[in-house]
Amino acid sequence: MLAPIINELVTQSWSCQPLALPRELTAALATECRARHRAGELAPASVGRGEGQQVLEGVRGDCIHWLEPGQSAASDTYLAWMDDLRQRLNQELFLGLEDFECHFAFYPPGACYQRHLDRFRDDDRRAVSVVAYLNEDWRAEQGGALRLYLDEGERDVLPEEGTLVVFLSGEVPHEVLPATRDRLSLAGWFRRRGGVL
Ligand SMILES: O=C(O)CCC(=O)C(=O)O
Ligand SMILES: [Fe+2]
């Protein structure tokens, strides 16, 4: 799984791997995300950073919960996978990735996230974005694709459980299209040292 991700990041700035995560892990993560949602632990996501941060549902309609080490066995397993990926990216691409931040995201039906880059204007630490999907039996007509805007055109990825999408945070604009059902994912970022500008 890791070798194709590394190769594709180098050749095309993005990689999509279906069936990258084991079923037991995505099922446990989906159960945890739904339980936290029912318990009211997810908060409306905001856009921007620092004092410019705002909740704008028309721009971004998901609710999120940041992962903390030790919060659950499934989350710890996912964070361990991501740390392996971080180390491989550093060994092979010399990216100097220092840490990983990641949240559950729950998009209710109709919610979207308009076209954006994952790098803030005043903070360039986010270098590589990783999204993992947790939705069983997703069908194209249910919408909810991640649309990547690439040099060669648009590319839509369905949020099917086990699919992992990795891309360079500063280079690939993308958006989340509205869906007709709940859409669960984990969105995360490998960060470099330094630079709140
Ligand atoms: O859930 C997705 O497909 C992508 C989410 C996203 O772009 C983000 O949280 O920055
Ligand atoms: Fe994004």
- Asked if the model's pLDDT at residue 127 lies above 90, the reply is yes
> Shortest CA distance to 81 belongs to which of 192, 186, 193, 156?
186
- Asked if the model's pLDDT at residue 192 lies above 80, the reply is yes
May I ask the CATH architecture of the domain 2-192? Sandwich (2.60)
Ligand nearest to the CA of 163: 1
pLDDT in tens, 132-160: 999 999 999 999 999 999 999 999 999 99
- Asked if the model's pLDDT at residue 195 lies above 70, the reply is no
Q: What are φ and ψ of residue 7, in 5° steps?
A: -60, -45
> Shortest CA distance to 115 belongs to which of 154, 149, 166, 164?
149
pLDDT, mean of residues 118-141:
92
Q: What is the predicted ipTM? A: 0.99
Backbone region of residue 143 per phi and psi (left: phi > 0; alpha: psi in -120 to 50; beta: other values): left
- Asked if the model's pLDDT at residue 52 lies above 80, the reply is no
For the Cβ of 130 lying below 6 angstroms from any atom of ligand 1, the answer is no
Ligand 1, closest atom to CA 129? 10
The pLDDT > 70 percentage for the chain reads: 98
